[in-house]
A and B are shown apart, each in its own frame.
Chain A
Amino acid sequence: MTSHRELFDPTNLKLAIHMRSLTETLHLHQEDERHYPDHPDEAKSAVKMADTSVSEPFPISLIANRYLLYDINTITYIRRKHCICGVLIGGLPQAPSQNVFCGIPLELMPEEARLLVEEGHAYIVEDVEAHMAGFLDMSEEERNAFMSAVESQGRDAAKAKKRRAGDNKERALKEKNLHRLVQESQTRQASASPDATNTADTDESLFAYPSPPASPPPPRASSTAPGEIFGITPSTSYPPLTMSVRSTNQPLPAVPRSYPLFRHLHSKGYFVTPGLRFGCQYVAYPGDPLRFHSHFLTVGMDWDEKFDLRDVVGGGRLGTGVKKAYLIGGKEENSEKADEDDDIRAFSVEWAYM
């Protein structure tokens, strides 16, 4: 695909259109799950993966005609399991002054939402109604129960932060080869503690809490815990809202006519993201966009739709310029194939140098 680039001669440009069926040329693996057991750092991630499992169907929030996800487990889950990335549009609380890395919420294209709903993985919840009903009519008992849950979460957060700060100090000291100081502080503390608790406290604030043998963290944490409760702003409203609120009467998300092609690409294991940046409808990635460059700039059309030849030239040149192919596809009408997904035909266009 790329070797003929070396024979580049600008006087002899030709537009080559490769026609091929996607099914033949694309052999993609959705091997996310399959590969894990082979990895050395598997033990760690396996533990974590356990808590990212999500019970289906999960809710997709609908606000002002947009489809959003707020639960990180669901976000990770659909990425692994259903090859759907969406777009993170929120900020990251731990890194507020940058916009390269984004956070919750995750915006889903209507196509993505529809696919998940059609396949029974998700259902749509009208979020405004659910919130107005759930929070404004909250009973006193519910409120108290939730507040105490939030409070204990806030206490945990405060503890965790303290612990992290301690770890950081310790690590920083170690990095600077200042073990000695840590040890000194420990011995000093040990000798000082019988006399007065006051001096021990100041030592603690100057240095990390001592290494394991001296005193285990829990008692220390509990001794400082009472005053410290962080306020918490949860990402999702579940709880206190319950997921059992199923609005089955929500219509399927309205999708553009490129939906059949989107669905087709997705069924072949492609990760599909919005493509306006490249002047197309979708950008198709051969695997998780976290790891891979995209292969296709995609435009979905009706089978008999007329379009400018210029679009092909423009798309082909633009795509080739960024090492991608331009792909046009649509649903073949009156085809005799039984399976609906097989009705899709796609053509990839690449600007070739001959």
Chain B
Amino acid sequence: MADVDEDLPQPTESNPPDDAEVDDEVPDFRLLSNFLKSNGAPGKIPKRGEKDFEPHPTAQQASTLEASRQAMHDAVAVTRVHVPKNHEIAVYEPSVNMAYVDKPRNTHYRTMGKAGTLDIRWPAIHSKDHDDGGSEQRLERSEEQQDEESRPSSDYGVPMSLQGAYATFIGFEASRGGSLTLERYTVFAPPRAKLGRAYWEIPPESLPPLELPSKHWNSGFFSKIWRRLSAPEPRHPHGRLASGPLVTPGLYRSYNDIYRLLQIIPSHDPTAPPTLSTADVPSEDEHPFHITYNVWKPNTPFKKTAPGPPDFYICVVSARDTFLPTSDQLNDLLATVPYDPPKMDGNLYQKLKHGYRNVIIAVVDQGITSFLRVADAGFGVEKLYERKPRGAGGKRGGFRGRGRGRGR
């Protein structure tokens, strides 16, 4: 891996590297207007802009910076408004720390998060005055009024600000034992907004699932049997290992038989059913690594009632509160996702990369998210000696950077 960057052309003074795209999470807001002019055409990603390497006391640099700052200020200062035609009002209910909508408009929820707004109101009547019946009374009242064309807006409480929404739905949630944290929301919101991905949260109680449907293991099981039939296991491996020789005298018709005898180091079998390293279900604090979101790609037909298997499993952790996962934690995390083997006829390296189970870990460092894909790679499964040699000629794919002896 270390060799990869040396194979890249090295930057020189005359040819500065084009690393703006890897560099920065801070885009130039002046380019936002270009993006807006394009009406946010789907698939079009706004540009981030070019930057300087050194500050120098020129008026030009300073004025560019000022223009960027002003653009950022103007862009971020835009107030959230609700056009009367699509004005949807929800009322916050403190007893459950949620908001409800009296008259949902169907189309709104299909596009929620992508387009469409929600005007959340504080309750007009303090629930203290109506201890238990508070919310019900209000619901009844709203039902009575449903026939009226326009409900006077004074009937609702004051609008909940963005600040109020974070304070209640994330801040207050913690004290109520809810599971929404700022990290989870930070991971949830941006891709959702960008791609309209459908999310389906797993309730924490179901984790980790101790028994998974057996169909996941079928392929592994049969492949094992198949391998057993086609490649006889060496007899008395223990005696052989204790007293040697590893390759017992006999008649061998292929090198593969000999290699198989030489294989004495036990290795992880990713095709086998997973076992959890801890017997009981640990608490959130001790075990921060579990699936937070199941994610479906945006372009697949998605029904809430029959969502089908998710495309991704995302585990959200906070960078500052969580250490690197231990081997046990990773094992348990991977045990909770279904068996997803690579294509067996694929390229060796693709198979190793794909793994047999995979999870995306979203690490949130103070608002900046890094996504890491962790896969249970089957190194022990890929027998190098079983590979079929490729046709003569041509470069073998994926061999770049192997070993130390780079000719140059």
Given A101-B75, A138-B122, A150 contacting B158 (CB threshold 8 A): yes
B392 within 8 A of A: no
Q: Is the CB of B13 within 8 A of A36?
A: no
B80's partner among A6, A68, A76, A232 (CB-CB below 8 A) is A232
Q: Is A104 an interface residue (CB 8 A)?
A: yes
Q: Are A64 and B182 in contact (CB under 8 A)?
A: yes
Q: Does B96 contact A (CB under 8 A)?
A: no
Interface of B is mostly: mixed
Q: Per-residue CB proximity of B57-74 to A under 8 Å, as 1/0?
A: 101011111111110110
A185 at the interface (CB under 8 A from B): no
With A31-B57, A143-B157, A154-B81 as contacts: A233 and B120 at CB distance below 8 Å: yes
Majority SS of interface residues in chain A?
mixed
For A157, the chain B residues whose CB sits under 8 A away are 79, 81
Given A8-B10, A97-B194, A128-B172: A38 in contact with B158 (beta carbons within 8 A): no
Q: Once the chains bind, are B84 and A228 in contact (CB under 8 Å)?
A: yes
Using CB atoms, name the residue of chain A closest to B63: A39
What are the interface flags for B144-176 relative to A under an 8 Å C-beta threshold, 1 for contact and 0 otherwise? 000000000110011111111011101111110
Q: Which residue of B lies closest to A92 (CB)?
A: B75
Q: Which of B232-240, B242-250, B365-373 contacts A (4 or more CB under 8 A)?
A: B365-373
Task: Tell me if A257 is interfacial: C-beta within 8 Å of chain B.
Answer: no
Given known A128-B171, A233-B159, A286-B54, contact A91–B13 (CB-CB < 8 A): no
Contact A234 B159 (CB under 8 A): yes
A118 to B219, CA, bound (A): 61
Point out the residue from B53, B87, B365 that lies within 8 Å of A275, measured CB to CB. Answer: B365
Verify if B114 is at the interface (C-beta below 8 Å from A). Answer: yes
**Which one, B29-37, B269-277, B344-352, is touching chain A?**
B29-37
Surface stretch bound by B, among A81-89, A186-194, A301-309, A342-350: A81-89
**Measured between alpha carbons, how far is A146 from B66 in the docked complex, in Å?**
35
B181 at the interface (CB under 8 A from A): yes
B127 to chain A, nearest CB (A): 7
Instruction: Judge whether B69 and A288 touch: CB under 8 Å.
Output: yes
- Whether the pair A38, B159 counts as a contact (CB closer than 8 A) is no
- Chain A residues positioned under 8 Å from B157 (CB to CB): 135, 138, 143
User: Which residues of A sit under 8 angstroms from B63, Cβ to Cβ?
Assistant: 35, 39-41
Contacts of A52 in B (CB 8 A): 73
Given A75-B76, A228-B84, A232-B81, A131 contacting B168 (CB threshold 8 A):
yes
**B164 touches which of A97, A103, A135 (Cβ 8 Å):** A135
Total number of residue pairs linking A and B with CB closer than 8 Å: 314
Answer whether A236 and B122 are a contact pair too, CB < 8 Å, given A31-B62, A92-B75, A94-B78: no
Would you call A64 and B171 a contact (CB within 8 A)? Answer: yes
Nearest residue in A to B19 (C-beta to C-beta)?
A: A322
Q: Does B209 contact A (CB under 8 A)?
A: no
Asked if residues A98 and B194 are in contact (CB atoms below 8 Å), the reply is yes
Q: Are B24 and A98 in contact (CB under 8 A)?
A: no
| Residue in A closest to B158 when the chains form the complex, CB atoms | A146
Q: Which residues of A contact B (CB under 8 A)?
A: 2-3, 5-6, 8, 10, 28-29, 31-32, 35-36, 38-41, 45, 48, 52, 61, 63-64, 66, 68, 70, 72, 75-76, 79-80, 85-105, 107-109, 127-128, 130-132, 135-138, 143-144, 146-147, 150-151, 153-154, 157, 161, 227-237, 240, 256, 273-277, 286-294, 317, 321-323, 353
21 interchain pairs (CB within 8 A)?
A35-B57, A68-B166, A72-B73, A93-B117, A98-B40, A98-B46, A99-B190, A127-B167, A128-B175, A130-B167, A232-B82, A235-B80, A276-B365, A290-B65, A291-B61, A292-B54, A293-B20, A293-B53, A322-B19, A323-B17, A323-B19
Interface residues of B (CB under 8 A from A): 2, 5-6, 10-13, 17, 19-20, 22-29, 32, 35-36, 40, 42, 45-46, 48, 51-55, 57, 59, 61-70, 72-73, 75-84, 87, 89, 94, 113-115, 117, 119-120, 122-124, 126-128, 153-154, 157-164, 166-168, 170-175, 181-182, 186, 189-191, 193-194, 196, 319-320, 363, 365-368, 370, 406, 408
